[in-house]
């Protein structure tokens, strides 16, 4: 596999994460850069989904990816191999989430004059990442079919803070006891405004719907 | 569904979790009670696996279950319905893990004179629960096939602290790109002593192997 840059992230020194997040968001807006924060459980298909999305958007926008993980550089390499776009791996030093100060450490390693869209793949975790505003314009979460439709009941904050819920691995619905309508009801119990989009990152089903949403988002930012 | 007791857990006031954990472990040993800590990602099948295990052991041992979640009482109800054993739901107040002090708050709600085995289903999370000794005799983690064989590479501590890794949902291996031997190698890279046991909580395959291990563990404690 190709080599990728690995950035060792340090714990943030800022006391007020919300203020830091607002400042980072404003800075990115001023540079015309759209930051998307992607969260989910481990193994729900974040990297595969992002590879699909990037391949559909990379001819329209300049894209960079920041892959956060405790260890390994598997995801950054996968993204670079699958899409060819710049991908850096952020090592969190055991920390279970990214906050705005940590996100900025990643951003500072990108050439923002040459980027329209930065995708942040957060640490795989349904609890802690939901508690910290990263400074992203929008946040999404991926819920995969094998995890079950009850996740919004058990991890309320994650589904409250997300603008879009991608229901991934719909290609394996026949092999699991999973009710898509029940899943939607559970998401909307936590967040009536969340958009729920069923996809299969494996075969590409539904990805265009999300790509259309993201394309509109980026155009809105750029005005 | 039947009603279950819900215990609202408070943050621990103890500074030295390892000391608290050792004290809880010694207390449980003195009462002849075996505490098993069960960890995994959200949706990997902890509750279904435990229902199978409990139904195979409940005629031999007196069992109690503590289900930790941020919200809902779904899992405690599921266990009680599926097995009939006493199951209490621990609400963590948004916290991403249980430590020894929090575990003790659950234990204090059980009648230990009437229990041989307490099963603690930790919060679904591959990061934070691995950082805190709960006071359990042994800890296990469940890695489900749809999550992928690379999880030990990304979440090193979880696989370092576990005595047993149950590889669940092996019934759906044909529908996923999952290599069991690669998974075992990745687990053993983190922990050469970890026992890796493939299971299907859905159809029961492999569960007897784990039940035999747990039965021996409990007998060893009781001497």
| Per-residue model confidence as pLDDT tens for chain A (223 residues) | 567 899 999 888 888 999 999 999 999 999 999 999 999 999 999 999 999 999 999 999 999 999 999 988 999 999 999 999 989 999 998 899 999 999 999 999 999 999 999 999 999 999 999 999 999 999 999 999 999 999 999 999 999 999 999 999 999 999 999 999 999 999 999 999 999 999 999 999 999 999 999 999 999 998 8
Tens of pLDDT, residues A82-104: 999 989 999 998 899 999 999 99
State how far residue A138 is from chain B, nearest Cα, in angstroms. Answer: 22
Tens of pLDDT, residues A68-78: 999 889 999 99
| Per-residue model confidence as pLDDT tens for chain B (223 residues) | 567 899 999 888 888 999 999 999 999 999 999 999 999 999 999 999 999 999 999 999 999 999 999 988 999 999 999 999 989 999 998 899 999 999 999 999 999 999 999 999 999 999 999 999 999 999 999 999 999 999 999 999 999 999 999 999 999 999 999 999 999 999 999 999 999 999 999 999 999 999 999 999 999 998 8
**Would residue B163 count as lying in a domain?**
yes
Q: Which two tokens stand for residue A58?
A: 């990379």
**Would residue B99 count as lying in a domain?**
yes
**Would residue B50 count as lying in a domain?**
yes
Size of interface A-B (CB pairs under 8 A): 110
| CA B212 to centroid of chain Cα atoms | 16
pTM of the predicted structure, to 2 decimals: 0.95
Are the C-beta atoms of residues B102 and B82 closer than 8 Å to each other? no
SS (H, E, C) A126-154: CCHHHHCCCCCCEEEEEEEHHHCCCHHHH
**Would residue B153 count as lying in a domain?**
yes
Q: Which two tokens stand for residue B80?
A: 């009680």
Beta carbons of B71 and A154 less than 8 Å apart: yes
CATH of the domain at A148: 3.40.50.300
**Would residue A86 count as lying in a domain?**
yes
CA distances from B11 to A88, B42, B91, B102 (A): 36, 22, 11, 7
Which residue from B70, B71, B126 is facing A42, i.e. has the nearest CB?
B126
Beta carbons of A70 and B146 less than 8 Å apart: no
Q: What is the ipTM of this complex?
A: 0.92
Please give the pLDDT value at position A222: 85
**Would residue A2 count as lying in a domain?**
no
In whole angstroms, how large is the CA radius of gyration of chain A?
16
State how far residue A70 is from chain B, nearest Cα, in angstroms. Answer: 6
Q: Residue A138, exposed/middle/buried by CB under 10 A (0-12, 13-18, 19+)?
A: middle
**Would residue A60 count as lying in a domain?**
yes
Using CA coordinates, name the residue in chain B closest to A43.
Answer: B147
Its domain, for residue A119, covers 11-222
**Would residue B4 count as lying in a domain?**
no
As for how many domains chain A has, the answer is 1
């Amino acid at each position: 596999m190709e080599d990728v840059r690995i950035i060792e992230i340090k714990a943030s020194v800022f006391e007020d994460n919300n203020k830091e997040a607002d400042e980072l968001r404003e800075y990115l807006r001023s540079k015309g850069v759209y930051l998307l924060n992607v969260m989910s459980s481990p193994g729900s298909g974040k990297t595969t989904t992002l590879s699909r999305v990037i391949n559909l958007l990379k001819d329209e926008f300049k894209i960079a990816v920041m892959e956060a993980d405790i260890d390994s550089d598997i995801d950054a390499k996968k993204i670079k191999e699958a899409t060819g776009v710049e991908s850096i791996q952020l090592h969190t030093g055991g920390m279970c989430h990214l906050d705005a100060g940590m996100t900025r450490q990643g951003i500072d390693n990108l050439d923002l004059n040459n980027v329209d869209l930065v995708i942040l793949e957060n640490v795989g975790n349904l609890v802690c990442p939901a508690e910290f505003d990263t400074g992203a314009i929008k946040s999404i979460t991926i819920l995969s079919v094998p995890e079950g439709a009850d996740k919004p009941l058990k991890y309320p904050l994650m589904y409250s803070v997300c603008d879009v819920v991608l229901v991934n691995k719909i290609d394996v619905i026949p092999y699991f006891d999973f009710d898509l309508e029940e899943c939607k009801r559970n998401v909307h119990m936590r967040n009536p405004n969340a958009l729920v989009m069923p996809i299969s990152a494996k075969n590409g089903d539904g990805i265009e719907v999300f790509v259309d949403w993201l394309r509109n988002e980026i155009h809105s930012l750029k005005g």
